[in-house]
Amino acid sequence: MNIAVFGGTFNPVHNEHINVAKAAIEELSLDKLFIVPTFLPPHKSVAPAPAEDRLEMLKLAFDGVEKAEISDFEIKNGGKSYSYVTAEKFAAEYPHAKLFFIVGDDMLTDFKTWKMPERILKVADLAVFGRENFAADRAAEKEYFEKTFGKSFVTLGYCGKDDSSTAIRVYSALGLEIADKTPEKVAQYIKNRGLYAGGEYEDYVKRSLPEKRLVHTAEVAVTALKKCKAVGVDENKAYTAAILHDCAKYSDPRDYAGFTLPDGVPQPVVHAFLGAFVAENVLKITDKEIIDAIRYHTSGKPSMSALGKLVFVADMIEKGRDYDGVDRLRRLFDGDFDVCFKECLKEEVLHLLNKKRYIYAETLNAYDYYIKENRN
């Protein structure tokens, strides 16, 4: 008998979760696949939607998927959910079965940092699926696993698309369509329950931007949130700066009493300065790092914060952008962020030079600071 555990926050479940599950059932010849939502993930800094809602959405999503079974084990346990506890539970319940624990390439890379990883591997084999736009060095990982744990892992042929629960949450908060990202019944459940609804900032952006720019805004936020942990940026700050970075894109500076534009700011950069003004004076944001990230997300400047760099890069490489070289920048984003940031800055300057457009002084100052002086 072959069984597998597919765990996660599922906040919420999306289409690729279902596709991975179906692929695992087929490729591993599973008799049962247990979908196990966490109660509280140990590696997340933001609390997920209520466990009851996530459980119900999973039931809707997997209705009709043969051999898939939703387990409330971790939810009933409460507290932080640790994978080794779950793996040992199913191993004990099915002592004569071959047990697999399903993870993506991204989680494989982090597996060594999990709590008691050796206890998971004592009772189960990892089954690893690929992730679109995530380049894992599986050969190096296998060498590490064999040396550290005395066993390797199983590789699935399926490669999951770049869908994410984060995108659904961000799109929902901005009032954008999510039916292409999760089953229709789940999308309707989210709408009916008001899950992932936005607040004051999202409402302001929805009133101020057309749908196309809202989609861009959502993708900038999704991109920034992917890299928060790696670059040491608070998720809430990254999200706030990202969704407000273009909040004044279509606003007239003359409508805002007290707004003064510094000398030499070219027209394409005006909205960034006005956006910072709106964030501080209309939306009453007091965090100077967020305000600064909005103000310089288009131009850059010397000595930017990690948040400022992150929003600058996310704005340039979000998946809706389409220009020569953007795919290279996205690959760099998945690797060394500082290299990616500098290459984005170079790309901006070269673009403006090639188009023979006026280059704002702060952009040139940023280029001198980061590229010529090679600072981080």
Per-residue pLDDT of 9-49, as tens digits, reads 999 999 999 999 999 999 999 999 999 999 987 766 567 89
Architecture category of domain 2-163 in CATH: 3-Layer(aba) Sandwich (3.40)
Per-residue pLDDT of 96-119, as tens digits, reads 999 999 999 888 888 989 999 999
Give residue 348's pLDDT.
96
How crowded is the C-beta side of 256, counted as CA atoms within 13 Å?
20
217-372: which CATH topology? Hypothetical protein af1432 (1.10.3210)
Mean pLDDT value across residues 207-224: 98
Task: Give the lowest-confidence range in 132-141, 319-328, 352-361.
Answer: 132-141
Mean pLDDT value across residues 172-197: 96
Question: pLDDT-derived band of residue 247, with 50, 70 and 90 as boundaries?
Answer: very high
Is the pLDDT confidence value at 229 over 60?
yes
Give residue 45's pLDDT.
56
Per-residue pLDDT of 69-100, as tens digits, reads 999 999 999 888 999 999 999 999 999 999 99
Task: Give the lowest-confidence range in 151-160, 247-256, 361-370.
Answer: 151-160
Share of the chain above pLDDT 90, in %: 87
Question: pLDDT-derived band of residue 225, with 50, 70 and 90 as boundaries?
Answer: very high
Is the pLDDT confidence value at 328 over 80?
yes
Mean pLDDT value across residues 212-235: 96
User: What integer best gives the mean pLDDT of the chain?
Assistant: 94
Domain boundaries, given as residue ranges, for the chain = 2-163, 217-372
Share of the chain above pLDDT 70, in %: 98
Give residue 43's pLDDT.
67
Is the pLDDT confidence value at 133 over 80?
no
Structure tokens at 77: 């346990």
Give residue 221's pLDDT.
98
For the whole model, what pTM was predicted?
A: 0.93
Give residue 44's pLDDT.
64
Give residue 137's pLDDT.
79
Beta strands across the sheet bearing 125-131: 68-70, 32-37, 2-8, 98-104, 125-131, 154-160
Residue with tokens 């229709």: 184
